[in-house]
Amino acid sequence: MKRIVVVGGGAGGLELVTRLGHKFGKTRQAEIILIDKSRTHIWKPLLHEVATGSLDINTDGISYRAHSAKHYYQFQLGCMNGMDASRKVIKLDALNDDEGHELLPERELSYDIVVLAIGSVSNDFGTPGVAENCYFLDSHKQAERFQQALLNQFLRIQQGTDEENLKLSIVGGGATGVELSAELYHVADLLKAYGMPAVSAKRLEVELIEAGQRILPALPDRIANSARSELSRLGVKVSESKRIIRAEKEGFITADETLINADMMIWAAGVKAPDFVAQLEGFETNRNNQILVRPSLQSQSFDNVYVIGDCCACVQPDGSFVPPRAQSAHQMASMVFKNIQASFRGEPLQDYLYRDHGSLVNLSRYSTVGSLMGNLTAGSMFVEGRIARLVYVSLYRLHLIAIHGWTKAMIIMAAQKIGKVVKPKMKLH
């Protein structure tokens, strides 16, 4: 029996392993294994809501082990640190408990086909002091760490004797930085209903810092301008064309040696594949550690190694690279599923072509802006307000349908609706 291993249970990895499980695992045509360093899946575009407490991973996350039991694949907890493609094995770190005691030693796992869906981590571009002084939102553990620190800061504001505000500086004017900025104002106002009357959006000073000429540089001007206007209305200070050269305990230092004071600093200024990817033998990578692939999404060196998602460097016919977005990972997962089926039947593999279905930026409960259709029409259609919010929510629902099926996804959506009525509107612990 062939063994197909998927490394990484993000948006693309989990959708792919679910489909592989139903196609090959259920009929015992192949052994399907998912490897992930976390026990729980959360849709990455929602990490900013985990960071502010708007989303509770304990109730909204998906247990890989429980999911695998119903979708005909195996789950192994582990963190990949290397691979030997010539021997067809991936290498996993030792597994330790919370106290540092070793549960499993370093180990190897063989495969016939492997799909690398490792995802990405924040790219600090070697900026001094960032790793030591900033929060990142690469994973739900980092998001939860930020949420606990944020609650402590709100408690300081509530019980303080002065009128000092909470100052937060966010570096990176992409979707994560923009959405986090708006979400912070939303949760600050919520706390008045939970025993913190001194805390409100008026006690926040949020500065969003972008090194480029404007925020949301990957999106059309109209979306960026609309988002900037809405953020300014909320009270966010949007600083564009401002480059950070280092981070200190007191705040960020700009290129002109100006100190931006901050109680909390968040770095969201770009992503790259994990550093160990660039050390894998036999693979060609770019400066962001992404693995270069053929149009079929196979690695350039090995037919049985596929790469999808943020760690994949896929060149399109026009010479551009596929952007690291959730919709890219979803499309890549679908193509690799088709190509694995084709390889089982001895048929030619298909080439992947990225389809831009538009981009949406959700500014918490205040507004949603974006463009729809992308290159499916002669141009793009600008949307905002309730329509844009509906489409944004629908993207997450489509993800739930892909990993659960229609029936269970609808039950989960209904349960989430009920939960919003009976649970606190934010995580308070």
Same domain, 257 and 134: yes
Q: According to the model, what pLDDT value does residue 376 have?
A: 39
Q: What single letter denotes the amino acid at residue 46? A: L
Low-confidence ranges of the chain (pLDDT < 70): 364-389, 422
Residue partners of 296: CB distance under 8 A and separation at least 6: 335, 339, 349, 350, 351, 352
DSSP assignment letter at 298: B
Same domain, 232 and 300: no
Residue 403 belongs to a domain: no
Domain end call among 302, 320, 345? 345
CA atoms of 170 and 207, how far apart (whole Å): 6
Q: According to the model, what pLDDT value does residue 374 have?
A: 47
Same domain, 89 and 148: no
pLDDT digits (tens, 9 = 90+) for 332-356: 999 999 999 999 999 999 999 998 8
Residue 410 belongs to a domain: no
Task: Check which CATH number belongs to the domain holding 81 and give it.
Answer: 3.50.50.60
Q: According to the model, what pLDDT value does residue 377 have?
A: 42
Domain end call among 321, 345, 369? 345
Same domain, 258 and 278: no
Residue 198 belongs to a domain: yes
Q: Token pair of 327, please?
A: 């919709």
The number of distinct structural domains making up the chain is 2
pLDDT digits (tens, 9 = 90+) for 83-117: 999 999 999 999 988 888 898 899 999 999 999 99
Same domain, 173 and 93: no
3-state secondary structure of 423: coil
Same domain, 40 and 140: no
Q: According to the model, what pLDDT value does residue 372 have?
A: 59
Backbone torsion region of residue 297, taken as left when φ is above 0, otherwise alpha when ψ lies between -120 and 50, otherwise beta: left
Residue 255 belongs to a domain: yes
Domain end call among 242, 270, 298? 270
3-state secondary structure of 161: coil
Same domain, 243 and 291: no
Residue 97 belongs to a domain: yes
Residues facing residue 271 across a β-bridge: 122
Q: According to the model, what pLDDT value does residue 221 have?
A: 87
Same domain, 261 and 300: no
Residue 222 belongs to a domain: yes
Same domain, 262 and 288: no
pLDDT digits (tens, 9 = 90+) for 35-74: 999 999 998 988 998 999 888 887 788 999 999 999 999 9
| Residue-number span of the structural domain to which 244 is assigned | 130-270
Same domain, 305 and 218: no
Same domain, 265 and 282: no
Q: What single letter denotes the amino acid at residue 229? A: S
Residue 308 belongs to a domain: yes
The model's pTM: 0.91
Q: Answer whether 6's CB lies under 8 Å from 24's CB.
A: no
Same domain, 181 and 266: yes
CA atoms of 15 and 93, how far apart (whole Å): 25
pLDDT digits (tens, 9 = 90+) for 314-333: 999 999 999 998 899 999 99
- Alpha carbon of residue 77 to chain centroid: 19
CA atoms of 264 and 165, how far apart (whole Å): 12
Residue 364 belongs to a domain: no
